Amino acid sequence: MTQTSENVTWLTQDAYNQLKAELEHLKGPARAEVTSKIAAAREEGDLRENGGYHAAKEEQGKQELRVRQLTQLLEAAQVGEAPTTSGEAAPGMVVTIAFDGDEDDTMTFLIASREYASSDIETYSPQSPLGTGVIGKKVGENAQYELPNGNKATVKILKAEPYRA
């Protein structure tokens, strides 16, 4: 598979190892556990009215979806070092932007894979319209990105600092 910048996910070695461990757990112990839940529920009888069976099957479906997501993500991952210098918007950076040059109307977010999304800071993927618009821009530069309605928005990069978990 040829990788383009659109389907590459940048990960630190630690993040890659963490996601790989989650994938191994889901493929091994977690898969065996849900399979035994399904088998135990089957033995209870009529599957049409068996809540435990349906819950276990739903859990299995969610688990298998996560296995596929992680497999695709890890196959397309580019492992590298987290940025250590400030000043340029890139994956792994916390960026503060001003909308239309109005330094009172700002937003701060992390440029990272959805795997890093947390309630602590808003996260935009490098492939998102905003992510692709700001990546490579230095503090003080303007960036343009496309809004969902097709219009363009211009933002000014105010800060770009390495993310610290």
Q: pLDDT for 6-43, tens place per residue?
A: 556 667 777 788 889 999 999 999 999 999 998 988 88
- CA 81 from centroid of its chain's CA atoms: 17
Task: Please check whether residue 127 is in contact with residue 134, taking contact to mean a CB–CB distance below 8 angstroms.
Answer: no
3-state SS, 90-120, equals CCCEEEEEEECCEEEEEEEEEECCHHHCCCC
Q: CA nearest 111: which of 96, 133, 126?
A: 126
Residue 84, pLDDT score: 64
Q: Give the residue extent of every domain in the chain.
A: 9-79, 93-162
Q: What is the pLDDT of residues 42-59, one digit of tens each?
A: 888 777 778 888 898 999
CA angle, residues 9, 10, 16, in degrees to nearest 5: 95
Q: Which residues contact 133 (CB under 8 A, 6 or more apart)?
A: 143, 144, 145, 146, 155
Q: Which residue, chain included where needed, has tokens 């580019």?
A: 78
Q: What is the pLDDT of residues 105-158, one digit of tens each?
A: 899 998 887 666 666 788 888 888 999 999 999 999 999 999 889 999 999 999
Residue 4, pLDDT score: 40
Residue 100, pLDDT score: 78
Residue 7, pLDDT score: 55
In this predicted structure, the answer to whether residue 161 has a pLDDT above a threshold of 50 is yes
Q: What is the pLDDT of residues 76-114, one digit of tens each?
A: 777 776 666 778 998 888 999 998 767 788 999 988 876
| Distances 84 to 10, 90, 101, 103 between C-alpha atoms, Å | 15, 11, 27, 26
CATH architecture classification, 93-162: Roll (3.10)
Task: Please check whether residue 110 is in contact with residue 131, taking contact to mean a CB–CB distance below 8 angstroms.
Answer: no
CATH architecture classification, 9-79: Orthogonal Bundle (1.10)
pTM of the model: 0.60
Q: What are 139's two structure tokens? A: 């503090």
